[in-house]
Amino acid sequence: MTQAFYAHNQQGRVLRMVPDVIRSRALLYDLFWKDLRAKYRRAIIGLLWAVLQPVLMMLILTFVFGYLLRDLMGSRIGGAQHSYAVFLLAGLVPWQFLVVGLTGATNSIVANQDLIKKVYFPRETVPLAAILYSVLNFAIGFVTFLVVFSVLEGPGLLGVGVVFAPVVFAVQLALITGLGLVCSALNVLYRDVTYMVEVALAFGFYATPIIYDLPHDLPPWVYRIYMLNPMAHLVEAYRQALLMNRFPDAAHLLWPLAAAAVMLVLGAWVFRRIAPTFADHM
Amino acid sequence: MALIEVENVSKVYRPQRGSRVLLSREGLKTLFGGAHETVTALQDISFEVERGESVGIIGSNGSGKSTLLKLLAGVTVPTTGRVTVRGRVASLLELGAGFHPLLTGRENIYLNARILGMDRAHTDSVFDPIVEFSGIGDFIDNPVNTYSSGMFVRLGFAVAVHADPDVFLIDEVLAVGDEEFQRRCRTRIAELKEQGKTIVFVSHDLNIVNMLCNRGILLSKGRMVSRKTPRETIEYYLRQIGRDTGIHRFGAGDLEAVFCHGRISLFKGETEATAPAGLNMQVQSMGQVHPSSLAEWEVTDHGPDWCQARGRYSRLPVTLLWDMRVDAAKLRWRAAIECERETTLEAVSGYSFWPAAYTQFHADLSGSFPDIVPGSRNWTSIIQNAPTCRETIAMPDVSTTLPPAVVRIEPGNDRFTLQWWNTDYMVGCRALDAGAYLPRSEAAFAKGRHELFTLEFDLGLSRADALARVEAREAERSVTSGQASALMHTGMIRISHGPRLLTSSVHLHTQFKIANLWNMSPYIQWGAAQCKGRCVCATGYSTRYPFRQHWEMEPAAAGFELRVWLEALDDIEVQEYNVSIGLDPAYDRWETPLEHGVFPEFDVCQTGWRHLNHDHSHAAYVRALGNGLPTITLDAAASDRPFQMAAINTGYHQRTRVLQAMHVAGADGCLSFSKGRHLCFRGHIRVGA
């Protein structure tokens, strides 16, 4: 093996990111398994938590908003033909995908600093492994949704929309990846990023139509600002696919897609700029 | 193309950005890219490492060694310049750091191997060797947070070593784990080097750098000062850094000493007389050995030819007090300890390390150091002298410029002995241990100051003077009768007639066959030689079987009488034993009371010993004759036991005539020696007449 395994000036190149990741896909997979096993090794019911978490959250939110505060919510509870639990879960599962993916990726580099300080390997694999974990989490959440849907509404109502969901998923994955790359790299320089992400996600939970339907009744300029949030579009797109059984509106896909593209490019650039000197900041 | 290329590399660190910075006066300016205080860790470093080379990086703390290793490992990148590595790198830095505590050893091996760039099939193929080398055994399927820190590091080392990379980066790994594991690591690294692996090595253990590396790179304050052979670099290092605290250079005439954090190196003119480990101390408390290099040292006072230093152990309430003076080509090293409270010390030692080019030792007994072969993993004791022995001389090989080393001890109590060792192969030198093992009743040191020893190192003698001195000492250990004289050595007696040495090879020695193994007297531990009136005595200890030998020689008519006692420390079965005299090949005839014959020429094809007489029935003596040589007779008539006498030619490579008195077991095949002392040979060796 005489080819240059690394020359330092190659490490910073944005364009080499894709081939580097493809070459180290086995490592990516191993890191993913490490995260997974380490996370659930000491937990008695293990991976079942990925199911229990959205279900419990659905139960409590249904209790609060669908029962206690039902009068207050009024017409904001959308999807009149569906039960609140199903409506809620359709928004909650994609949101959890973002939460798990983004927080996981943001902390991943710092959490793996022992490794980063020790050996050279393509650094992208670390946040990508964290995002891969969130994908698994989403898959489990999605299955949970299908089960809850079938139980509450009968499986007959599940339609062709399930096939459209992956399209939305792909756009969301790209968005999370881009955000994850930016945040994980910046978090090495400024640990403030972790806290900022936490605050932003807490805020975002209410600024995204999860517990309520799209607020069409807002003043138009407020609504426009509201809809700058790509997650608002994505959640609506999931609902259109899963609950209304139709291909999501293009508007709800194109804006997040544009955001995802920008974030991916920005993410790759920021990450590659900072990654070669990660070890200096640990 | 070189495997590693480092071109004009500099590395500048900017301060960490944290809230402390923000809250300081310059805070906001700093945040928005104002002027930074920077730290230059490396400046304009260039070198290449070819495939198969091993390079040692030496430097004091903060000289940029670890930064350089990080650059080579690709963990970080230089601020300016270029680092190119053409191959896979495994760093043995921070071993096991990549392990996840909750995963099992097995899972961690696969993960770690993957990070080091191995694919699954490769890992499968080396999995068993990894487990075996690490000694983890059945724990392999337990999570690694249940491992001891030693197991953790062992597993990390095992994975890295088996990753079969193109370059190994090694950083102080040898400072972790237990002693046995350190030895295995060192052996393993030596093996890797022998297999032609490329190694970049950072260590404070200058000995290992010297032994292992083709080249030494000396870093000082981020700059590359020298890149010559390791030995030159190490010398330069020791001489250059004399301005830091904890280090002092002093000397007089052509003898120069460098005190460096609990180690003294001696230079005679341009050559370093001591091995890189120099002179140092160890104390042992509660079974734990504390080398002086682990203490926190401070030079308290110094002059051009002297130096006083204090070294405080952080793990013992003990401070070492050293007073070193150079005077007339001698270094006097006085060592004392100061205890903060009552402390138990089981052993204290002053070590001095000498290059392997010192080949002869003279103390209680004289002898040659055996070669240190690549397989030697442990230290081997060469001679343990009696407590009465206060002086020892190490003679260098004639081909070197090293001075003869005369070491004298003025011990603080009569437990101190001088013991010579051969170190293991990696350290590769002779070690003189001036140490005392203290029995329980004496091991308690009260609060306050205690003198331990003064060692004097005299490097001023010429070779001839030193040899004269050796001869004067040897005269005390020989018996003479007329022209004949016999000199006690380590497990051997040299017999001379006037100035002419008659014996050769292993001289007069004994062999005891126990459990089908021959125990030759030169290869057991000798010491405690002393004169009792006209008698010269010495004791040898076997490290393999529970016995000692006591030899006594006493002048007798035209020669001397030799008595050999076997002291069995336990009941012991001996199959056969003999007393043999290896003689100059100029002896050409032999005779016994029963027959006589000639010693034939040595046959090139002959490797084993060849018995020349045929009648092995018990005889009184065997004798060798040669033209112009005094007849030499081995006469066992005075023994209580019956002996068979033999005249023997050795193999071609030894080319020695041998006279042998052997005692063989009867029909039952064994001679039983009960616990206690048995006189097993009493004979008369006559020279001339």
Q: Between chains, do B85 and A12 touch, taking CB under 8 Å as contact?
A: no
In a mutational test of the B interface, the residue from A8, A20, A109 whose CB has the highest number of chain B CBs within 10 Å is A8
Distance of CA B183 to the CA centre of its chain: 12
8 Å CB contact between A179 and A260? no
Confidence of residue B226 (pLDDT cuts 50, 70, 90): low
Q: How far apart are CA B366 and CA B470, in angstroms?
A: 9
Mean of pLDDT over chain A: 85
Task: Evaluate if residue A3 carries a pLDDT over 50.
Answer: no
- pLDDT at residue number B19: 57
Burial B411-429 (b: 16+ CB within 10 A, else e): bbeeebbbbbbbbbbbbbb
- pLDDT at residue number B80: 87
Q: Over range B115-130, report the average pLDDT.
A: 86
Q: Which residue of A has its CA nearest to B12?
A: A280
- Tell me the backbone φ, ψ of residue B332, rounded to 5 degrees: -105, 125
Residue appearing with tokens 């080019």: B357
Burial class (CB in 10 A: 0-12, 13-18, 19+), B401: exposed
B683: left (phi over 0), alpha (psi -120 to 50) or beta: beta
Task: Evaluate if residue A198 carries a pLDDT over 90.
Answer: yes
A contact set with B (CB within 8 A): 1-9, 11-12, 26-27, 30-31, 34, 37-38, 41-42, 114-121, 189-191, 276-281
Higher-pLDDT residue of B175, B430 = B430
Q: For chain A, what's the residue count?
A: 282
Task: Evaluate if residue B23 carries a pLDDT over 50.
Answer: yes
- pLDDT at residue number B238: 66
The residues, any chain, with a CB within 8 Å of residue B638's CB and separated by 6 or more, are B561, B682, B683, B684
Residue appearing with tokens 């079965």: B573
The residues, any chain, with a CB within 8 Å of residue B134's CB and separated by 6 or more, are B151, B154, B155, B157, B158
Task: Evaluate if residue A41 carries a pLDDT over 60.
Answer: yes
Higher-pLDDT residue of B189, B547 = B547
Mean of pLDDT over chain B: 84
H-run or E-run covering B611? strand B610-611
Q: Which residue of A has its CA nearest to B13?
A: A280
With helix as H, strand as E and coil as C, how does chain A read? CCCCCEEHHHHCCHHHHHHHHHHCHHHHHHHHHHHHHHHHCCCCCHHHHHHHHHHHHHHHHHHHHHHHCHHHHHHHCCCCCCCHHHHHHHHHHHHHHHHHHHHHHHHHHHHCHHHHHHCCCCCCHHHHHHHHHHHHHHHHHHHHHHHHHHHHHCHHHCCCHHHHHHHHHHHHHHHHHHHHHHHHHHHHHCCHHHHHHHHHHHHHHHCCCCCCCCCCCCCHHHHHHHCCCHHHHHHHHHHHHHCCCCCCCHHHHHHHHHHHHHHHHHHHHHHHHHHHHHHHHC
Q: Is B66 helix (H, G, I), strand (E, B) or coil?
A: helix
Write down the pTM of the prediction: 0.63
- pLDDT at residue number B562: 92
In a mutational test of the A interface, the residue from B114, B124, B145, B167 whose CB has the highest number of chain A CBs within 10 Å is B114
Helix axes A230-242, A250-274, angle to 10 degrees: 130
B contact set with A (CB within 8 A): 1, 13, 16-18, 70-71, 73-78, 82-91, 93-94, 97-98, 100, 102-103, 107, 110-111, 114-117, 119-120, 143, 166
Q: Is B16 helix (H, G, I), strand (E, B) or coil?
A: coil
In a mutational test of the B interface, the residue from A2, A6, A273 whose CB has the highest number of chain B CBs within 10 Å is A6
Give the closest of B18, B77, B86 to A277, CB-based. B77
Higher-pLDDT residue of B43, B149 = B43
- pLDDT at residue number A177: 96
Any idea which of A222-236, B193-207, B492-506, B637-651 has the lowest mean pLDDT? Answer: B193-207
Higher-pLDDT residue of B235, B604 = B604
Higher-pLDDT residue of B42, B16 = B42
In a mutational test of the B interface, the residue from A2, A5, A24, A115 whose CB has the highest number of chain B CBs within 10 Å is A5
Give the closest of A37, A121, A278 to B103, CB-based. A37
- pLDDT at residue number B668: 67
Distance of CA B552 to the CA centre of its chain: 31
- pLDDT at residue number A199: 96
Q: Between chains, do B17 and A189 touch, taking CB under 8 Å as contact?
A: yes
Q: Between chains, do B85 and A278 touch, taking CB under 8 Å as contact?
A: no
Any idea which of A62-76, A131-145, B191-205 has the lowest mean pLDDT? Answer: A62-76
Task: For the beta carbon of residue A107, count every other beta carbon within 10 angstroms.
Answer: 19
Q: Which residues of A touch B143 (CB under 8 A)?
A: 41
The residues, any chain, with a CB within 8 Å of residue B392's CB and separated by 6 or more, are B361, B362, B363, B385, B406, B407, B418, B420, B432
Q: Between chains, do A118 and B88 touch, taking CB under 8 Å as contact?
A: no
- pLDDT at residue number B204: 66
- pLDDT at residue number B17: 59
Burial class (CB in 10 A: 0-12, 13-18, 19+), B467: middle
Q: How far apart are CA A138 and CA A141, in angstroms?
A: 5
Helix axes A125-153, A49-61, angle to 10 degrees: 60
Residue appearing with tokens 């010390």: B345
Looking at domain B4-232, its CATH superfamily turns out to be: P-loop containing nucleotide triphosphate hydrolases (3.40.50.300)
pLDDT digits (tens, 9 = 90+) for B264-283: 888 888 788 888 788 999 99
Residue B319 is given by DSSP the state E
pLDDT digits (tens, 9 = 90+) for B350-405: 999 999 899 988 887 788 888 887 777 788 888 877 777 888 999 999 888 889 99
Confidence of residue A205 (pLDDT cuts 50, 70, 90): very high
H-run or E-run covering B685? strand B676-687
Q: How far apart are CA B361 and CA B368, in angstroms?
A: 6
Distance of CA B195 to the CA centre of its chain: 24
Q: Which residues of B touch A11 (CB under 8 A)?
A: 74, 77
Q: Which residue of B has its CA nearest to A1?
A: B87
The segment with the largest mean pLDDT, out of A264-268, B45-49, B62-66, B191-195, is A264-268
- pLDDT at residue number B41: 85
Q: Between chains, do A276 and B76 touch, taking CB under 8 Å as contact?
A: yes
The segment with the largest mean pLDDT, out of A108-117, A229-238, B9-18, is A229-238
For residue A1, the distance in angstroms to the closest alpha carbon of chain B comes to 6
- pLDDT at residue number A23: 83
Alpha carbon of A278 to those of A20, A196, B31, B70: distances in Å? 17, 20, 19, 12
Q: Over range A111-124, report the average pLDDT.
A: 84
- pLDDT at residue number B25: 58
* Ranges in chain B annotated CATH 3.40.50.300: 4-232
B217 forms bridges with which residues in the sheet?
Answer: B57, B227
- pLDDT at residue number B315: 84
Confidence of residue A2 (pLDDT cuts 50, 70, 90): very low
Among candidates A174, A175, A157, A138, which has minimal Cα distance to A242?
A157
Q: Over range B582-599, report the average pLDDT.
A: 90
Burial class (CB in 10 A: 0-12, 13-18, 19+), A232: buried
State the greatest distance between any 2 C-alpha atoms of chain B, in Å, as a whole number: 109
8 Å CB contact between B134 and B144? no
Task: Evaluate if residue A101 carries a pLDDT over 90.
Answer: yes
Q: Over range A59-80, report the average pLDDT.
A: 74
Q: Between chains, do A34 and B111 touch, taking CB under 8 Å as contact?
A: yes
pLDDT digits (tens, 9 = 90+) for B428-464: 889 999 999 888 888 889 999 999 999 999 998 889 9
Task: Evaluate if residue B499 carries a pLDDT over 80.
Answer: yes
Confidence of residue A6 (pLDDT cuts 50, 70, 90): low
Any idea which of A184-188, A231-235, B196-200, B206-210 has the lowest mean pLDDT? Answer: B206-210
Half-sphere exposure of B217 (CA within 13 A, CB side): 25
Any idea which of A177-191, B90-104, B293-307, B507-521 has the lowest mean pLDDT? Answer: B90-104
CATH architecture of B242-463: Distorted Sandwich (2.70)
* Ranges in chain B annotated CATH 2.70.98.10: 242-463, 478-687
* B478-687 topology per CATH: Beta-galactosidase; Chain A, domain 5 (2.70.98)
Any idea which of A85-89, A115-119, B126-130, B659-663 has the lowest mean pLDDT? Answer: A115-119
Q: Between chains, do A37 and B76 touch, taking CB under 8 Å as contact?
A: no
Task: Evaluate if residue B21 carries a pLDDT over 70.
Answer: no
Any idea which of A233-237, B199-203, B624-628 has the lowest mean pLDDT? Answer: B199-203
Q: How far apart are CA B257 and CA B304, in angstroms?
A: 11
Q: Over range A23-31, report the average pLDDT.
A: 86
Half-sphere exposure of B411 (CA within 13 A, CB side): 20
- % of chain B surpassing 70 pLDDT: 90
Q: Between chains, do B84 and A281 touch, taking CB under 8 Å as contact?
A: no
- pLDDT at residue number B70: 85
Confidence of residue B58 (pLDDT cuts 50, 70, 90): confident
Task: Evaluate if residue A1 carries a pLDDT over 50.
Answer: no
For residue A202, the distance in angstroms to the closest alpha carbon of chain B comes to 24
- % of chain B surpassing 90 pLDDT: 20
Higher-pLDDT residue of B239, B111 = B111
Taking the domains of chain A in order of start, what are their residue ranges? 27-281
Confidence of residue A5 (pLDDT cuts 50, 70, 90): very low
